[in-house]
Amino acid sequence: MPNIWKPRGDGSSPPSTAAMAEELEVSPLIVEILWNRGLTTIDGMDKFLSPLLRHMTGPAEIPGLTEAAGIIASGLGEGKTLAVWGDYDVDGITATAVVKQFLGMRGIEIMHHLPNRMEEGYGMNVPGVERLAADGAQMLLTVDCGISDMEPVARARELGLTVVVSDHHMPGDELPNAHAICNPRLKEGGPCADLAGVGVAFMLVVALNKLLPGKPVDIRPLLDLVALGTIADVVRLTEQNRIFVKNGLLLIKEAKRPGMAALKVVCEYERLAEIGAGQVSFNLAPRINAAGRMGDPTKALDLLLTDDFDTAMPIAEELNSINMERRRQEQEIADEAFVQAESMKNMAGLVLYAEHWHPGIIGIVASRVAEKYYRPTLILCAPENGDGLLKGSGRSIPEFDLFEGLKAISPILNGYGGHKQAAGMSITADNLQALRDQFNTQVIEQLGPEPLTATLKLDHELAFSSINNTLLKELEMLQPFGMGNPEPVFASKPVTVAEHRTFGRDREHVKLVLADEKTGARLPGKAWRMGNTLTRVVQGRTMRFAFTPKIDRYRGISKIDLRIRDWNF
């Protein structure tokens, strides 16, 4: 089904475009793009184009953080042993690394625990808490988890541990009985509302740096970890997150962290290559994620914290191999999931299940199914961890609040948690059909009975004759791109398909040459994974394309290339 093309914002132009462009020293097109993304002042646009660290908000903006930092600083001052409990994904691993490295810089050694997904599942668990206490932990700090872990937090307190929860997931009606909870979602809105778990951990570190005795240390070198975790968690890259990621990407380019350098090398980048948020998301982050998805996340933590490149390379190569196996299994699961989804196309919300699917991979497949069918999707499996529950991961579309949908059917769930667009849940096997029925009802109640069509938002119409290196360099000022700040998409004027050919192992991609007959401008473009729909019948046709212009630096030669997003006749 083709996308519906709509202008971003209201498609208007500011009343003083030329004057604003002159003051900001950018083209009027950049001003119009920013205006339709909700930035309506010179100051707002300037801070967006130059997201400097001095524009960071204070840690006190996060509810509970000041109290949490005070409790941790007091405990460390008394000589108590701190343990950090993180999640097994990139966000949790990088958040754990941020806390461990910071306190190491302060001369404080701490314990840590990252759960094995296959053996322990998501979040905290009572046996893990008991092991930490037995090993000597006296304080427990959670990062990227804990907000829904009532029983493990209660057990930690029974054992005499001081418990501080730092998280960014949606809180439920009940909060854990911790000594302090810091979570930006405990209040509506604010500049920190969309922080990832690693962002909350970094803000906690900012506060601790002022409270601990001795001279504060320079914590800016931690921002590469913050950028990696923030990008991987697919949170909005606006406000605080934009500041973190923009500055963190500069550190990833420098690759002074041996583990980051090794990670870039196994991804076939030069050690000092400049890479964007998209490259981090599709190349670096999956290799860190693979460790936790397939079993032991500690390997990824070791990679990020090692101070020696020769030590880092074998770990990075192992993670690369694990990721290759993850990709193989992902495709097998996706093929089976697509078959199930085809048989359920009458459902507004999809609930897919197979006992043998890998619990660490179903979330990725849920994203692919939700994107292909444009429907909220839950995928479940039956991991062999002994508790007899089915475990699931869900992904949504922008119009459906997945967390609220699961909350509404929580009586049939054994547990759930997450965000509007991504969540996890567990149920007993005999509730599977009830889950299918009730989830479908929730989607219909929120969205109506008719399937929705994806909307493609366009930033502007752009003639091929206007596309040059100067414009593309200006567009790169809008980076980092991601959720909340998508890459600009432009509509072409009517152009002719002068050349068409397929490429790729299965000829699944398309290369085009598009010609503007009025101006004589010709530009190449690539349509990824569109070989089955953008077929040779378009050769010679006059069409309009939605596209993002790029600077293609393949083989060291810079040239303009278009990434084709959609088309119509």
Which CATH architecture describes the domain 59-321? Answer: Alpha-Beta Complex (3.90)
* DSSP label at residue 430: G
Alpha-carbon distance of 513 to 501, in angstroms, equals: 9
> pLDDT band at residue 13, thresholds of 50, 70 and 90?
confident
φ/ψ region of 352 (left if φ > 0, alpha if ψ in -120 to 50, else beta) reads: beta
Q: What is the mean pLDDT of residues 494-519?
A: 94
* Per-residue model confidence (pLDDT) at position 555: 62
- Domains of the chain: which residue ranges? 4-50+456-568, 59-321, 344-447
pLDDT at 1 over 60: no
Query: pTM value?
Result: 0.89
Percentage of the chain modeled with pLDDT above 70: 98
Q: Does domain 4-50+456-568 have CATH number 3.60.20.10?
A: no
With beta carbons less than 8 A apart as the criterion, state whether 182 and 68 touch: yes
Interval 468-497: pLDDT, tens: 989 999 999 999 999 899 999 999 999 999
DSSP per residue, 485-539: BPPP-EEPPSEEEEEEEEESTTS-EEEEEEE-TTT--EEEEEETT-TTTS-GGGT
Interval 292-322: pLDDT, tens: 877 789 999 999 999 999 999 999 999 999 9
> pLDDT band at residue 435, thresholds of 50, 70 and 90?
very high
* Per-residue model confidence (pLDDT) at position 118: 74
Topology of the domain covering 344-447: Diaminopimelate Epimerase; Chain A, domain 1 (3.10.310)
Q: Tokens 């008719």 — which residue?
A: 450
Interval 132-186: pLDDT, tens: 999 999 999 999 999 999 999 999 999 999 999 999 999 988 999 999 999 999 9
- Spell 320-351 as b/e; 16+ CB within 10 A means b: bebbeebeebbeebbeebeeebeebeebbbbb
* Per-residue model confidence (pLDDT) at position 506: 87
Interval 88-115: pLDDT, tens: 999 999 999 999 999 999 999 999 999 9
pLDDT at 385 over 70: no
With beta carbons less than 8 A apart as the criterion, state whether 534 and 547 touch: no
In this structure, the strands spanning 495-503 and 509-515 are antiparallel
- Mean of per-residue pLDDT scores for the chain: 93
In this structure, the strands spanning 377-381 and 350-353 are parallel
